[in-house]
Every structure is written in C-alpha cells, then in structure tokens.
C-alpha cells in the first residue's frame, strides 16, 4: 500500500461555513439555555464527521482502479457509457450521510472530458439516478490509452456537486478532484475486460479499495 501525498485539511474546506454556523448556534444556546443546546452540539458533531477528509493509502499498481469514494457497491454490470460513447463495465458506489464525501481520482491519466448535467434528485441508491439526477462526468485517458469515466451523481438531499478539474489536466491516482455535499453516488465506467474486484453490497473506501483491474495492453484511444 502506498501512502499518497494529500495536501488538504483533515476537515474539508467545503464544510467550514457549515461547521462555523453549527458551532456558533451551539455556543449561543449553551449560554442562553444549556439543556436546549444538546441538539445543536449533536448537529455540530454530525457536520464535523460529514466533512472529515482523511488521507488514505492504496495500490500504486498501474492497472488498479481505486475507489473514488467511500460507500457501498450498489451496481456492477455491462452498460453503455454515454460519456465516452462505448460499452463498458459500470461499478456504482453509493455514499450515505455518514461516509466521507471527498472524491479521489481512480487512476493516473489525462482528463479528456468534463461535462456537467443538470437533473433531478432521486435517491442516489436507485439505478435511474445515474442518468436522471444532477451529475458531473469526467473521462480520464490512461498512459496506455484506456478510458476510465468517473461520474459524480447528486442524491436525494445532495444539492451541490463540486468538481475542481478541467479538460486537458493531468490527474494522479488518489488526487482529490471533487466533493458532493450530503447523500450521493459515484459511477465508474471501465473498459470491457476489466477484472472486477468487488461485489454488490461490499463496503469500500476511497483510494484504499481496488474496484477493478484494467485489461492489459488494450487501447481504447
């Protein structure tokens, strides 16, 4: 396992305003009416755990596809990848409100496409969320020409998808590239022939879990 460089605060910057508001309310309620402050302190703890963003270690093998998110596997199958326009193996990771919501790159490569789609807010655990919910798709081309698509999908209560990378940018595996506020999912589309290393229902951790291994010496350029 390789410990990747992770130059980010342990509490994600995306959560600082929410945590500040929660703490101020908790402190004010403690001063005014101590017993009534308990729900506000609990809310502060929830915000703190939701926006935690710990560094991770994972595989540096060139064919390993790392999980881009914490959560549970809810879908594995051969489908059409509408973003890279091909048939692909799809693996979906559903994140509940208790998972880390920072998204990390599954592979090394160059970003060849970033595309945002406005949409609805169905429960992210449902298959239809992949194509009907608000989402942001990123297509990565590896050094040997294979394509890996990672799609951030908003959920029932997620109202903000954040993506910090652009087309043409080089991306390193485990690099933090985005964040989704509250419940959501990430779909990963892989070349046919990829060897899946997880099963439906498995709990996975961003960077630490290998979702699949890419097929060798096969280009999809």
CB neighbour list of residue 193: distance below 8 Å, 6 or more residues apart: 215, 218
Please give the sequence-ordered ranges of beta strands (E in DSSP) within 155-202, or none if there are none: 161-163, 170-171, 176-180, 184-190, 195-196
Structure tokens at 31: 């001063």
Of 218, 219, 207, 204, the residue nearest 76 (C-alpha): 204
Q: What is the DSSP track for 132-190?
A: HB-EEEEEEE-TTS-EEEEEEEE-SS---EEE---TT-EE-TT-EEEEE-SSEEEEEEE
CA distance 161 to 199: 26
Structure tokens at 101: 């919501």
Can you give the C-alpha Rg of the chain in angstroms? 18
Concerning whether 184 is annotated as a catalytic residue, the answer is: yes
Determine which one of 59, 102, 184, 194 is catalytic: 184
104 half-sphere exposure, CB direction, 13 A CA radius: 29
**Burial (0-12, 13-18, 19+ Cβ within 10 Å), 85:** exposed
Give me the active site residues, please.
Answer: 184
């Amino acid at each position: 396992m390789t410990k990747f460089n992770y130059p980010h605060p342990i509490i994600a910057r995306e959560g600082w305003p929410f945590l500040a508001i929660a703490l101020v309310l908790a402190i004010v309620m403690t001063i005014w009416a101590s017993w009534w402050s308990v729900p506000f302190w609990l809310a502060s703890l929830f915000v703190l755990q939701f926006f935690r963003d710990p560094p991770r270690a994972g595989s540096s093998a060139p064919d390993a596809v790392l999980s881009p998110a914490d959560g549970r596997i809810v879908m594995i199958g051969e489908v059409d990848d509408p973003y890279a326009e091909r048939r692909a193996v799809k693996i979906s990771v559903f994140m509940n409100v208790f998972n880390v919501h920072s998204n990390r790159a599954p592979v090394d490569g160059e970003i060849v496409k970033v595309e945002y789609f406005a949409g609805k807010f169905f429960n992210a655990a449902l298959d239809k969320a992949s194509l009907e919910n608000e989402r942001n798709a990123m297509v990565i081309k590896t050094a040997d020409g294979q394509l890996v698509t990672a799609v951030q999908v908003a959920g029932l209560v997620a109202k903000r998808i954040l993506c910090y990378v652009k087309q043409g940018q080089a991306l390193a595996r485990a690099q933090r590239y985005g964040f989704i506020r509250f419940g959501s999912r990430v779909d990963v589309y892989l070349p046919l022939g990829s060897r899946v290393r997880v099963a439906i229902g498995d709990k996975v951790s961003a960077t630490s879990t290998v979702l699949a291994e890419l097929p060798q010496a096969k280009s999809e350029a």
